[in-house]
Structure 1
Amino acid sequence: MKPAEQYLTKSREILDKVAAQQSRIEQVADQFAKTILAGKMVHVFGSGHSRMMTEEMWPRYGSFPGFNPIVELSLSFHNLVIGANGQRQAMFLENVSGLADRILRNYDLTEEDSALVISSSGCNVVPIEMAEVFQKRGVKVVGLISRDHSEPSSSKREDGKKLQDFSDIVLDTGAPLGDAMVNIEGLDTPVAPGSTVGGCLIINSIKAEVAQRLTDAGHPPKVLSSAAIVGSERAVELFESAYDEHAHRIAKYYEQVGKA
């Protein structure tokens, strides 16, 4: 089988693994819709390459307000690779205890909020502590991991706990141990990771389910839409109103920060 065929075959297997989680995806959508309908936000966090999942949720075409993408550049700014702001520093900081608490110190969280924390391994300190702090502050946490990779892997926390230990619901990207899915003859290490495929499938499945729940409740979301579909005037209207709604929602999380 050619390398591209291997990857596509493995990706189809991931699609099946995601489809098998339909009931849990619907459970997550129930929770997230409840949060958004209450005027609150679903906080989405991923460090390293898991940052891509936060941006897949919002803001992009086909997405809508109600999600707060927490992207910490010190943990996810990879394009320089080496030197200042390089990958070595990001990977180091990803396992610095206490950083998660500093990040969430910026928000006045409520028990009506929800959180989605993404970490393929579920073993790095910052994502684990993000989930832990969310739970301590009464926020329901959904963890998105690769089970086949996480379960045999060792946590970077001294107590051995992983992201799934601080998650009310756990979803699985379906990616294999090590993430990479394609074996090349003559190369002793596999290439082409799969967690992004499974992660994007799950993110957008949740998004679609939440959109239906909001619409059924009489509050259809303001979806960022292409002018090719809705026309230029309507596209601009949707973008502006969606961004305004995001601003109004997120502003509430700053008003009482630091106050007793």
Structure 2
Amino acid sequence: MSEQPSGGEPQGGNELAGRFFDAAIGMLRRVRDEEAEEIAAAGTLVADVVAAGGRLFAFGAGHSSLAAQDMVYRAGGLALMNLLAVPGVVGVDVMPATLGSALERVDGLAGAVLDCSPLRSGDLLVIISLSGRNALPVEMATSARARGVKVIGVTSVAYASETGSRHASGTYLKDHCDIVLDSKIAVGDATLTLDAIPAPFAPASTVVTTALLQAVMATAAGVLSDRGVEPPLLRSGNVDGGHDWNARVMREYGDRIFYRQG
């Protein structure tokens, strides 16, 4: 966490903005350097599943869902990535917003969701949870793996040593994944403090987690290309020919895409 400079001098808005950018850039560099092997492994696993005919899914609760949604139906992204949505949990559109946080702690919800989902053995599920301590992401990982689904977990490993698990097993998301990507986000998420402000502020988990996962997707595209397989990528619909390109990809991979009708 970036601390206030010594002396406690007033901080202008521009200076605080600069401190936030510096903090975010520092975390991105740390993830790039310290998670390089895991990013390569995760990208290779994604490519393996695509090449073998499997499907790709991503799940995150609350703000963790933003990074999951960023991979779905995205220009420059893999067309096969689907959002695994849990009603009341994805995003903060549910009212009251606190309901989403409460649902993350409900035992058994993950199994019910997977029972009604199209996931099957041989697929891959990316589970994003900053803390990894709640029942929903833990059970999502264990239930998915029990069904023969490969799991990539994206979490801050620091939470496992600084907070208690909210799952009956006492375990965390990181304990139930084929590959774990550590976002390195400090417990509490916020990056800045100021003597005049009683709470830390300026969270960066969305910035870092989104970049981390896009690095994995870039790696997967490269691995597929190296194997002589054209990555099933989408193009922007706002460039000439983009819609025709995407229509072709969706026809070719229609049985592995679940965010479209028909």
Q: What secondary structure does 1:117 align onto?
A: strand
- State the partner residue of 1:215: 225
Distance across 2 between alignment mates of 1:244 and 1:94:
36
Q: What secondary structure does 2:105 align onto?
A: coil
C-alpha displacement at 1:77, in angstroms? 4.0
2:170 to 152, 155, 160: 160
- Please tell me the residue identity of whatever aligns with 2:152: V
Distance verdict in 2 for CA 1:136–1:60, change over 3 Å: same
More helix by proportion, 1 or 2?
1
Distance across 2 between alignment mates of 1:135 and 1:215:
28
Q: Does 2:178 align with 1:136? A: no
- State the partner residue of 2:249: 242
Distance across 2 between alignment mates of 1:48 and 1:192:
17
C-alpha displacement at 1:159, in angstroms? 2.3
Task: Deviation per CA, 1:5-60: give whole Å up to 9, x if none.
Answer: 22111112211221121111111111110101111112211111111111111211
Q: Does 2:203 align with 1:193? A: yes
**10-19 or 103-112, which deviates more:** 103-112
1:54 to 65, 68, 86: 68
- State the partner residue of 2:19: 6
Distance across 2 between alignment mates of 1:148 and 1:213:
30
C-alpha displacement at 1:185, in angstroms? 3.0
Runs of 4+ in 1 over 3 A off after TM superposition: 107-111, 242-247
- State the partner residue of 1:148: 158
- Please tell me the residue identity of whatever aligns with 2:256: R
Q: What secondary structure does 2:202 align onto?
A: strand
Contact 2:250 2:257 in 1 (8 A): no
Q: What secondary structure does 2:88 align onto?
A: helix
RMSD: 1.9
Contact 1:145 1:173 in 2 (8 A): yes
Distance across 2 between alignment mates of 1:111 and 1:53:
24
Distance across 1 between alignment mates of 2:17 and 2:115:
45
Q: Does 2:46 align with 1:36? A: no
Aligned length: 244
Distance verdict in 2 for CA 1:128–1:163, change over 3 Å: same
Contact 1:56 1:203 in 2 (8 A): no
TM-score by length of 1: 0.87
Contact 2:60 2:68 in 1 (8 A): yes
- Please tell me the residue identity of whatever aligns with 1:240: A
